[in-house]
Structure 1
Amino acid sequence: MYFIKHRFLRFLVEHLGFRSLVLETDWTIGIHLDEYLCTGRGDPQALLAATWGPLQTNEILDAIRWMRFYNLQHPTDTIRVVGGYFGAGHTQAYDAVADYVRCTMPERLDELETYFSVLRPTVGIDEHIEWYSSQRDKQLFIDHAQLAYQLVADLPTQAGHALALQHARFIVGFYEYQGLVSLDLDLDQRIAKSVIWWHEHTGDKVVYWGGIAHTANGSLLATGHSAGSYLRGHFGSGYASIGLTFHHGSGADPIPFPSSEFAEAVLGEVGLDTYLLDLHAGQPDSVQDWLNAPTKTRVIGPYYDPEKDSLFHMYGSLANWFDIIIHTQEITPARPLA
């Protein structure tokens, strides 16, 4: 499936003018990946190794390296990459905010550092998350993050202000989400807001690379709406939801043929290894009825337990969820980073 995503990314870049990629990774890791795309500085393999498991694959590394190659060939028309998660426990986000304050209103730098003295990590991100989770008064940290954000928001709007404010916003997001108090703004809504902000900040057409439970248009998750539903609400038909489905194969674990109640069982009856289905194309009435009818679709991420197969699905209408389906009959495991 990673290979299909890479190929489709290349098509969108080369033929449809897309120029940014949002990955489900930390905001600050995205900054370093973007620097690699723009300058060649940094080690993309090491950066991916520091992110969460599903991105630690050679297929993702191949995509990043292809983007770098594209930029070398098109220096005036480059591709960008951004991390959509708010795990801003990495110190680079704090440093970037401090640099902006230092340049625009240095007399407020001490005030900022007072807030950051409570927030800035002194250990690795995983250790910092564990430490923060053990703190009883998480509101103290959230308050300091919000005060730092407001300080940046009140500064003169000069070059770099929007980016500094986004850094500060991600710091707030980290402490709110890890503190489990911001129930009105769930993970998917935060990702969608990141995509929207990046589009507005750059003007780029954006590819959001994520699992279908997050990219699909609908209320598919226990936490509420998917990121795709928020993006559809914001962009309307300007957001295209692409569903990647498969019939059987192997991921981290063997994945058997779907039972008859799953949409993949029907999609798998087509005698093609891989095909694209445009759900907006003209369809016979019987096909349109099937696409609109409630059905089950597999949602299998990096981990799968065949003993709990019933947990790995979502229930609803393909026509509501997706604009395009790319179906693969058999998948093979991704290649983990060495």
Structure 2
Amino acid sequence: MSTPPVLPPDPSPPVAAWLTTQPVGARPELIAEAAREAVIVGLGVSTREAHEVFAFVTDTTWLLVERGFTTIAVLDNQRVADLYDRYVSGEDIDLDRALAQAWGPWQVVEMRDALVRLRELNRTRAGARVRIVGVASSRVLSSDYDRVVDLLAGIDAGTAVRVEALLDVIRVAHGSGEHVLRARGTHPGTPFVEMARTARAHTARLAPSGERDAALELLDAVVDFHANAIGVGHDMAREEHLAADRLLDHHRRTGERIVLWEGSAHIAAHPGPMLGSHLRTALDDRYLAVHITFGQGHITRATIPAPRADSIDARLAGAHGERTIDLRTPPPATVAGDLGRSWPTRLISGLYDPADDDEHYFDLPSLTGSFDALVYIPTITPIRPLADE
């Protein structure tokens, strides 16, 4: 009797075959169903620059609102978020002016459309209105820079011109971040906090007056904003903890259930310094962490290639088609072990360079320890910047 040939081992991990057995489709209703007992749902995105990803976030949010969630939390300046909230509540707020002061990723048609839809929803809604809150710590707006110049113009025109020249350079950090400008080669060289301090020094030389003191108060906040920027004095762990505390305090005070729009690295629930970890510790399974990833496609400034071969994104791509997977549903034992191990997943930030795509991956210590649900979109197209209209 002949000896059977020895076959090489299957190079694909068990999860690869299991993914092909999962129902095809981007299904917001599955996330809404998984969130039955949750008080906070984190919708984590691998990129904020894709139309399809944004659409899944909003489609899921509308379903969650139908099922009792009444607060949407976004990473943005708290004063800007307050303008969003007043707008969706029906107040006479200039939405375009509010979005002009927003964090860069929110200055898009998709965000404006979402806010318009929420305003209409609140107008016709019989129950509690949907609110918007901001989780970023900053309370400095780009309009504060204009206010400083206006105050100084009434005191000393020359000082106003000098301060305005400095502020016009550094205010762009509210859109992209100083670290992003450095990476893209568009940073002027002088640290923005130094330019903010110079603007304050010019102002401090003026004779005391109510206008000067008001300008100095605003400039103190501007200096603090730039002194705590990423790559300067930013304390990520502290900011993440404070953001989690804001969300938890909002829930405890109001009883409202919250949908959080954030990046996947912040949403991930595995132990560590990030926002999602604090929420999991405080809420256990009442926090639902969702990872929305993709295969390839285009964003405004780059073409994104197929994902790295060892990533969970590549395994999803190999299953062909959209997927929405509740990771808490027990899979076969062999698959459970594979899902529980470390997996890389791609995250697209403002620093993304397609020439170095392999470097833009985040290692999850455990897929099922990090997320409760997984969403995969094969191909993305760019979001639509408001500036292009």
In the superposition, the TM-score normalised over structure 1's length comes to 0.72
Picking from 126, 135, 144, the partner of 2:171 is 126
Counterparts of 1:249-264 in structure 2, within 5 Å, are: 249-252=297-300, 253-264=302-313
Q: Where in structure 2 are the equivalents of 1:158-307 lying within 5 Å?
A: 177=228, 183=235, 185-218=237-270, 225-252=273-300, 253-272=302-321, 274-307=322-355
Query: Any stretches of 5+ residues in structure 1 without a counterpart?
Result: 94-121, 139-169
Aligned length: 273
**Distance in structure 1 (CA, Å) of the matches to 2:311 and 2:65:** 33
- Range that drifts further, 75-84 or 27-36: 75-84
Deviation at 1:131, TM superposition (A): 5.7
Pair 1:84 & 2:135 matched: yes
Matched, 1:59 2:98: no
Of the candidates 37, 50, 68, which is equivalent to residue 17 of structure 1?
68
**Bigger Rg, which one:** 2
**Greater displacement, 302-311 / 66-75:** 302-311
Under a length normalisation based on structure 2, what TM-score does the superposition of the two structures give?
0.63
**TM superposition shift of 1:184:** 8.5
Distance 2:382 2:247 in 1: 28
- TM-superposed deviation, 1:91: 10
Unaligned runs of 5+ in 2: 1-52, 145-163, 175-191, 201-220
Using the alignment, how far apart are the partners of 1:184 and 1:307 within structure 2? 27
Alpha-carbon separation, structure 1, partners of 2:276 and 2:195? 29
Contact persistence 2:313–2:345 (CA under 8 A): yes
Show the counterpart of 1:326.
Answer: 375
Task: Specify the alignment match of 1:4 in structure 2.
Answer: 56
Paired position in structure 1 for 2:88: 37
Q: What is the percent sequence identity of the aligned residues? A: 26
Query: Residues 191 and 271 from structure 1, CA distance in 2 versus in 1: closer, same or farther, beyond 3 angstroms?
Result: same
Report which stretch shifted further, 41-50 or 17-26.
41-50
Could you tell me which of 81, 94, 97 is aligned with 1:46? 97
In 1, Cα distance between equivalents of 2:196 and 2:116? 39
SS at match of 1:237: helix
What is the alpha-carbon distance in structure 2 between the residues aligned to residue 333 and residue 23 of structure 1? Answer: 20
- Conservation of the 8 A alpha-carbon contact between 2:78 and 2:139: yes
Which digits, 9 at most, give the CA deviation of each residue in 1:44-101, with x for residues without a partner? 23312211221111111121111111101115421000111121124999xxxxxxxx
Q: Structure 1 segments of 4 or more deviating over 4 A?
A: 90-93, 122-125, 127-134, 173-176, 178-185
RMSD value over aligned CA atoms?
3.2
Take 1:287 and 1:258, find their aligned partners in 2: how far apart are those partners? Answer: 21
Task: Tell me the amino acid that sits aligned with residue 349 of structure 2.
Answer: G
Letter in 1 for 2:105: P
Matched, 1:335 2:384: yes
Query: Does structure 1 conserve the Cα–Cα contact (< 8 Å) formed by 2:193 and 2:226?
Result: no
**Residue identity matched to 1:192:** A
